[in-house]
Amino acid sequence: MPYRSTDTTRQKKDHKRTAMMQAAVRVFAEKGYHEATVRDVVSAADVAIGTFYFYFPDKETLFIHLYEETADFLVRTLQQAIANRATLVQQLQAGIQAYVNIALFEPAVVQLLLIGGVGAARSLQQKRADFREALVALWQAPLQIALEKGQIAPQNIRRTAEALVGAFDEVVLNLLGAPAPEVEAAIAVKEMAQFALRAVAYKG
């Protein structure tokens, strides 16, 4: 009869994997891809080094998997926030607020995606490109609708979305470096939304 792991065994394995992934996000965010080591990850997760190699063959594989998961999490969170709003003003405010919330409560996620992967393995380049494209598409869609409704000035929606993504990233990174980011967060969200509306020449 073939061996089958029990539910308890599977839960323990899932717990160790989750702990290792959460620790890896923090380690890569703090040290960057090149400086971080497998030993740093297992030490932060409080697991044996053998546990790491049970799930991943090397640091690169872990990082790419981690990058994909965190990128998907961020994009889906912003998409859900925008999808529940009817107007461009509401969509901007909700999407930006969701981004800032992630930065405040899960800063390592933002740092990993925007900084931690810079200059990492070549195999990550396409993943980074896909992530950036997803963010651009996320803002391009509501801008296109607003353009068709005559709510914003005629413009290259693609370029506008690219510019907004870059601007939001810069503000969020600077916010994380502020002495009291939670205090500045509400003002930052309002200012970013106002900036975006001015940038697209909103007529509403």
Measured CA to CA, the distance from residue 81 to residue 94 in angstroms comes to 6
Q: What single letter denotes the amino acid at residue 167?
A: A
Q: Which stretches within 118-204 are classed as H helix?
A: 125-148, 157-176, 181-199
pLDDT at 157: 97
pLDDT at 3: 47
- Summarize pLDDT for 22-32 with one digit per residue, the tens: 999 989 888 88
77-103 burial code (b ≥16 CB/10 A, e <16): bbbebbeeeeebbebbbbbbbbbbebb
Walk me through the domains of the chain, giving residue ranges and CATH numbers. 7-199 (1.10.357.10)
- For the chain, which residues score pLDDT lower than 70? 1-13, 117-120
Measured CA to CA, the distance from residue 153 to residue 164 in angstroms comes to 16
